[in-house]
Amino acid sequence: MNVIPPPSGFPQSRWPSLRDQIRRYLQIYVALWRNSVTREMTFKTNFLLWIVVELLWFALQLCFIEVIYLHTDAIGTWTRWEVILLVGTSHCIQEIFQAFFLINCANLSDLVRTGKLDFLLLQPVNARFLVSLRQVDLGSFVNAGIALVVMVYAMDHLDLQITPFRVLTFTALCLCGILIHYSLMFLLAAISFWTIKAQGIVWGYYNLFQLARMPDEAFRGMFRFVFTFIFPVLLVTNVPVRVLIEKLDQPAWALTMVLMAALCLVLSEAGWRVSLRHYTSASS
Amino acid sequence: MNPPPLMTCAMRLKPPQTLRRPRCGAEVRKYLQVLGLGFQSHLAYRFNFLARVLFSLIPLTALLMLWETIYAGQTAEMLVGGYTRSEMLAYYLVAAWVHALTAVTEDDWQIAADIRDGNINHLLAKPVNYLAYRLCLFASGRVVYAGVAALPLAGFVWISGLTVYVPTDLAVWMWFALSLALTALLQFFISFALAMLAFWVLEVSTFIFIVYAFEYIASGHLFPLDLLPESLRWLLPFTPFPYELYFPVSIYLGKTTGSALVRGLVLQCAWVGISWWMAWWAWRRGLRRYGAVGG
∠ Cα A114 A119 A125 (to 5°):
135
On the question of pLDDT at B256 being above 80, the answer is: yes
Task: Please report which confidence band the pLDDT of residue A150 belongs to, taking 50, 70 and 90 as the band edges.
Answer: very high
Which of B47, B212, B217 would best serve as a mutation to test chain A binding (most A beta carbons within 10 A)?
Answer: B217
- Neighbouring-strand partners of residue A127: none
Q: How far is A234 from chain B (nearest CA, A)?
A: 11
Count the neighbouring beta carbons within 10 Å of the beta carbon of residue B192: 25
Task: Phi first, then psi: give them for residue B83, nearest 5 degrees.
Answer: -110, 130
Mean pLDDT, rounded, of chain B: 85
The rounded distance, in Å, linking the Cα atoms of B111 and B255 is 36
pLDDT at residue B30, as a whole number: 85
pLDDT reported for residue A116:
83
Report in angstroms the alpha-carbon separations of B155 from B66, B93, B159, B162, B224. Answer: 20, 12, 6, 11, 24
**Length of chain B in residues, anyone?**
295
Q: What type of residue sits at position A20?
A: D
Q: For chain A, say whether B130 makes contact (Cβ under 8 Å).
A: no
Mean pLDDT in residue range B77-99: 87
Q: What is the pLDDT of residue A169?
A: 93
- Whether residue B206 and residue A63 make contact (CB cut-off 8 A), yes or no, is no
pLDDT at A76: 85
Interface residue of B74, B207, B209 to substitute, partner A, most A CBs within 10 Å: B209
In this structure, the dihedral spanned by the alpha carbons of residues B173, B175, B180 and B185, taken in order and rounded to 10 degrees, is 150
Count the Cβ atoms, other than its own, within 10 Å of residue A251.
10
What's the pLDDT at B225? 92
Q: pLDDT tens digit string along B52-73?
A: 888 888 999 999 999 988 888 7
Chain segment A30-86, per-residue pLDDT in tens: 999 999 888 888 888 888 999 999 999 999 999 999 999 998 888 888 999 999 999
Q: Considering only A20-34, A218-232, B33-47, which range has the smallest mean pLDDT?
A: B33-47
What's the pLDDT score for residue B12? 43
How many C-beta atoms surround the C-beta of residue B187 within 10 A? 26
pLDDT at position A7 is: 52
Q: What is the per-residue burial (b if ≥16 Cβ within 10 Å, else e) of A102-136?
A: bbbbbbbbebbeeeebeeeeeeeeeebbbbbbebb
Quick one: pLDDT at residue A1?
45
Chain A residues with CB under 8 Å of B62 CB are: 210-211, 214, 218-219, 223
* Residue range A161-172: mean pLDDT, rounded: 91
State yes or no: pLDDT of B78 exceeds 80: no
Instruction: Report residue A248's pLDDT band, with 50, 70 and 90 as the boundaries.
Output: confident
pLDDT score recorded for residue B8: 41
* Contact with chain B for residue A22, Cβ under 8 A: no
B75 — pLDDT class (breaks 50, 70, 90): low
Cβ pair B265, B175 in contact under 8 A: yes
Q: Domain residue spans in chain A?
A: 19-277
- Nearest neighbour of A68 by CB, restricted to B51, B70, B213: B70
User: When comparing pLDDT for A82 and A118, which is higher?
Assistant: A82
Residue A46, SS3 per DSSP? helix
Instruction: Please say whether the beta carbons of A241 and A86 come within 8 A.
Output: yes
- What value of ipTM does the predicted structure carry? 0.83
- With 70 as the cut, is the pLDDT of residue B122 above it? yes
* Over residues B82-107, mean pLDDT: 89
Q: For residues A104 and A114, give the distance between their C-alpha atoms in angstroms, rounded to a whole number.
A: 15
The CA distances from residue B63 to A27, A68, B85, B250, in Å, are 45, 12, 13, 18
Q: Is A214 on the interface with B (CB under 8 A)?
A: yes
Whole-number Å distance between alpha carbons of B93 and A71: 21
Percentage of residues of chain B with pLDDT beyond 90: 39
A230 interface with B at CB cutoff 8 Å: no
Average pLDDT over residues B90-106: 90
Q: Give residue A4's pLDDT.
A: 56
Nearest to B117 by CA among B198, B207, B206, B209: B198
- Confidence at residue A18, expressed as pLDDT on a 0 to 100 scale: 86
Integer CA distances (angstroms), B16 to A178, A252, B127, in order: 69, 85, 17
B80 lies within 8 A of chain A by CB: yes
Q: What is the pLDDT of residue B33?
A: 87
User: Mean pLDDT score of chain A, rounded to an integer?
Assistant: 86
Whole-number percent of chain B with pLDDT over 70: 89
* Predicted local distance difference test score (pLDDT) of residue A246: 85
Q: Which residue of A has its CA nearest to B201?
A: A46
Size of interface A-B (CB pairs under 8 A): 88
B216 touches chain A (CB under 8 A): yes
CB B83 within 8 A of CB B220: no
B15 has a pLDDT exceeding 50: no
What local confidence, expressed as pLDDT, does residue B10 receive? 40
Query: Which is more confidently placed, B185 or A192?
Result: B185
**Residue A197: per-residue pLDDT:** 65
User: Contact A64/B56, CB-based, under 8 Å?
Assistant: no
Query: Of B56, B206, B227, which is closest to A49 when you measure between CB atoms?
Result: B206
- Boundaries of every domain in chain B: 24-289
Q: Provide mean pLDDT across the span A274-281.
A: 81
Report the C-alpha gap between B143 and B148 in whole angstroms: 9
CB contact under 8 A, A43 and B56: no
State the pLDDT at residue B136: 92
What pTM, to 2 d.p., does this model score? 0.85
Residues on chain B touching A69 (C-beta within 8 angstroms): none
